[in-house]
Amino acid sequence: MAIFRETIPLGWSYDDQGIAVFFKHKKDFDKVSLGLAKGRLADAYGRFQQLLESGEASVQETRGGVYLPGEDAVRLDAGTRECFGLPTAWPGSLILETHSVPNLCDFAAKLRIVDPLGHRIDSWSLRGAILEVGEERYLPDPETYACLAGYRQWQSLEAKSEVDHLRLIHVLTDAASRGCRADASSAGKIEITTAVEVTVDARDQKDGSILLTPVPITEELGRLLGEADKKGNDPAAILRNYVGKIATRVAQLDADGEEAILRIGNTLVLLDPNQTEQARSVARSRRVPPREAANFRKDPAKWLADHQFVHGEVEFLPRVIGIGEWAGGYLGAAGELGEKIDWFDKKPEPEKERKPSDESNEDAPPKDSETIEDDVDPNRQVPIIESNDEELRWGLRTNGEAEEGVISIKPDYTIYPRSPFPHQKDAVQWLGLHAERCGKPQRWSEEQKYWGAGALFADDMGLGKSLSTLVFLREWFLAWREKVGQPAPACLIVCPLSLVENWAGEIAKTFGDALSPFSRVVQAIPAAELGRFHAIPNGKDVVRPGLNGESGKVEQYGLTFGNGDEQSLDMPGTVVLTTYTTLRDHRFSFAGCNWSAVILDEAQNVKNPNALQTIAAKAMKGFFRVALSGTPVENHLGDLWCLMDTVEPGALGSFKDFRSRWIHPIRQDPSRMQEIGESLRKHLDTLILRRTKEEALEGLPSKAILPVRIPMTNEQAEIYDEILRCANAAADLEEGTRKTNQWLASMWELRRVSLHPDLSGDAAGTPASSETESRAYFGKSGKLRWLLEQLDTIRGDGEKVLLFAVQKKFQELLRRHLSIIYGVKISVINGDTKAVASGRSNETRLGLIEEFSKAPGFGICVLSPIAAGAGLNITAANHVIHLERHWNPAKEDQATDRAYRIGQKRDVRVYLPLLEHPSRPITTFDTGLHRLIDQKKQLAGSLGLIPTQAVGQEELFGEIFGNAEANGDHRSRPIGIADAVKLSWDHFEALIACLYERDAERVILTPRGRDHGADVLILGHKTEGNILIQVKTTAASKLDSEAAIRELKGAEPFFENAMNQRFPVKRLHTNAKHFSRRTIKAAKLYKTDAQGQSWLEENLKRVSVTMAEIISRNAHRESI
């Protein structure tokens, strides 16, 4: 649904690559440049800044605007499209007309666009992101754009193969599955999917041999097997079924061509050239002879060293015993991995469309289940490592003593530009002592079951672990050269993407130009320098499973390493900065490199034993391994075991022993948590270094945590009570999707309304226009009114503040209004903000933080507690306000410590504004979440080895809705026309549905973003029969939307076919008073009834609808 406003003074143009948006008049650009822009100009400029900060746009130099590449332009949301005055999306549909079948040489295809009247149009073109149809211009939605671009790419091929034809069809069918009105049925009833990689299944045979089967893995694996919708399926059983089907079709790989196709029933699986070669190499020789299988079982490590890893001079760590499918690490009881679904950000799910013949499905729970972590995929090919799950197979059983010939450091701290604090010097010495445990630098011996050493550096956040680590690395590199007579092997630092630039900056600040021990610093990520080291075009490792009776091996490493020259990623003396994702994606290349040290920053990223990045980390040849984490245990003690199994395997024994000794006692008696945590810390002894700020830093300014209780405004309280009534109504529902959806919807509404009453229904809020109007707008919210009072005081003191908020729309609302009120540039740092500089724009997270920090006096920075929750130093601010709390206390603490850390010179004040009901002593959303978070923190204490449990869904439901009946004792007030016209777009859709329900047999509210062109379906209206409805909201008095009429006309055939019903009446509803001439003309042309405020006012008098009913109705949407 689009949101329409009046024209603003922006223009746009386009070329073959993208779209430029700019100010039409120099006077407007001058206002923006001088910070004098208000209203729509300020709104447009704010959106320009957000696009630049997220890296989606570059500066359009000549006219003060932005330039967006086509693939980014089509992803703009409706509000931004309208603000920029960009064309509407194509309102019709697409149809692919084909001749013959894809596997015949006479196959031909023509993609036609179809207007809402059903006319097929041949003459169209796609230039950049713009669809040109005669004189008309459209900016397609992402799915339509994918179809158009896919067809254009297919057309450009000189010689087209069957796979090319099938990929074209797949583009359309995939887009159709995501809501695009694209028809590829002329190609026949076939399902097409693409392989993401090829793995190998190895099965023992009765004759003692091993049978290998190439297995293409697709994202739709469960769907291919026809079992994805069965609740509680065993993944292993699904895989066995799938492998069985593949095994009977291996002969299909013998067909000619660079790209293979596997036909499984009506489904075609497409393989790219690399995947095809991998699969064919296995298919040519599938059987490992019995004699080889026996050798393998007798001594797997030796057999694999002799057979699998012969690739030049590359040698893997002995812990790596093979290449194959990851069978999965420890799982234990539910929640053993400690990785909970992020329910707090989960939205109500649309219910499945109830067929007329099936009345029992309405309240059925959703069939698709969520997984613990996207990375947990047991079917990907990985380095198979010695597992320490059941027994200790790799690692030290005791710490041992240092050997002769070790490398020892003797730091001279006086030479460093930044002198380390005493606790940092202690950390450098601690790292040096553990480095000595590595022994003399040398290759492992065959009989060893360990190599090198490791430790966990778990100082509290903000104590300067990065500086300590870098000083140690310099001293170690220098001592290595002195001892060995040659440069140390490369050092690898792995960190989240947001910290790559931060580490590069820390290296520069720590060593300056003269002291750096590194021959070079390489940012080995796709957005920076990784491409320099590609050994093959895509840089991906190619694994060839079994050839001629041998087991699999790495056929081609994706990255260049091991040569000792500039072309090698691991050239001696180099420090390589990379991310966990890059490590995962290039796991065999990184495992082949020689690393003097591997530093895992924010090491909680390897807490899950079944994540590919964890497996990749454990497979690397790092002589000295250090895990850096201020929160080594986030959710579960199993986190700690996995971290130690990565850097110092054996320190905590096998997981079986660890679980028995440490985890089970806490489960049996949670009151022993502190006692067991202290015992565990003593057990680890010196292998872990953990100091808090209070322990380590003398003279550190104080940190005051200040909960502030604030009454709601009357407007907030009225809406809040309505939401509670909605939740109260859910208490009578049976357990299932409808009840969960209604409580989730109610919780979301409470969360939004607690910020501002106008945010109900996920509305974006009112645009900023002037300081007076913005202050009045914030005054409608108790929390934001308090915020302005606090910011006024902070401005008077000339200090800086960090505002933390979770929802992006609220972050943007804060930025727009506060920049108008205070006349300062306000940046938003969230998941959209670039982490590393690129060619488009240099406004990265670090750059924005430096700009904020260096600006004199008062300043405001708006941040997401997730995107800014780790590694960033923002000590220029000494005020922190958590306007919106994160459900995980550990994440909130990480966010706070962006300001409270080394370098902070002033006392830090952390505000927790908590909204209270003004007239009734109830537990509000804010106070309930605060109490639960506080309980979790008190339980965990400060040991750092006891997990701070996140707030659970049922806990918060119980806290907020447990006494909903008592909270709902005030009568609901029906909404009037004044309230109705201000509703958010989705609440307005729900209102229209409510107004029809009394007079219809059934009313369907379609899902957000997947409505196929209609928002409400009326079945069996007592006077009008079936009605197809499109709903549009606008801030203007007049609706100017010819496209809305066309969209509704285009939806008619889809719904008539899907519902097997005719829809003789088509209607457009809006909150506007009037319609533009062209909208009225289109309505007459397409025989659509257009109704505005007068219809709405008349029916609100006839039908009483409360806000609680609207919220409840909005929670129940049905997929068609």
CA–CA separation, 702 and 720 (whole Å): 37
- Is a pLDDT exceeding 50 seen at residue 774? yes
pLDDT digits (tens, 9 = 90+) for 169-206: 888 888 887 778 888 888 877 788 888 777 777 778 77
- C-alpha closest to that of 387 among 300, 292, 457, 315: 300
State how far the alpha carbon of 511 is from the alpha carbons of 42, 320, 471, 912, 1063, in Å.
43, 36, 9, 39, 73
DSSP state, 649?
Answer: T
The residue type found at 858 is F
* 899: helix, strand or coil: coil
Whether residue 379 is predicted with pLDDT greater than 70 in this model: the reply is: no
Which pLDDT score, from 0 to 100, does residue 6 have?
A: 47
Angle at Cα 1016 formed by Cα 1012 and Cα 1019, nearest 5°? 110
What pLDDT digit, counting tens, does each position of 963-1018 carry?
A: 444 444 455 678 899 889 888 888 999 999 999 998 999 999 998 766 678 999 99
Residue closest to 621 by CA, chosen among 562, 563, 578, 573? 562
pLDDT tens, residue by residue, 227-241: 444 445 565 677 778
pLDDT of residue 306: 42
What residues pair up with 218 in beta bridges, in sequence order?
195
pLDDT value of position 732: 56
Alpha-carbon dihedral sign for residues 237, 243, 247, 248: positive
Q: Each residue of 517-551: pLDDT tens digit?
A: 999 999 999 888 998 898 887 788 887 654 554 54
Q: Is the pLDDT of residue 667 over 90?
A: no
For 839-870, b/e burial (b = at least 16 CB within 10 A) is: ebbebbbbbbbeebeeeeebbbbbbbbbbbbb
Number of C-beta neighbours around residue 237 at 10 A: 11
List of domains in the chain: 8-84 (no CATH), 93-187 (no CATH), 190-290 (no CATH), 420-441+452-533+564-696 (3.40.50.10810), 703-714+780-953 (3.40.50.300), 977-1119 (3.40.1350.10)
The partner residues of 12 in beta bridges, in order of sequence, read 21
Neighbouring CB atoms inside 10 A of 1083's CB total 20
Q: What is the per-residue DSSP string for 55-98?
A: TS-EEEGGGTEEEEEHHHHTT--HHHHHHHTPPPPP-SEEEEEE
Classify burial at 443, counting beta carbons within 10 Å of its beta carbon; exposed 0-12, middle 13-18, buried 19 or more: exposed
pLDDT category of residue 668 using cuts at 50, 70 and 90: confident
List CB contacts of 741: < 8 A, sequence separation 6 or more. 348, 349, 351, 1115, 1116
Q: Average pLDDT in the 924-928 region?
A: 87
Buried/exposed code over 791-816 (b: 16+ C-beta within 10 A; e: otherwise): beebbeeebbbbbbbbbebbbbbbbb
Q: Name the more confident of 102 and 629.
A: 629
39-53 and 808-822 helices, crossing angle to 10°: 120
At 135, give phi and psi (nearest 5°): -90, -5
Tokens of 286: 């599938």
Quick check: pTM over 0.85? Answer: no
Q: Is 971 helix (H, G, I), strand (E, B) or coil?
A: coil
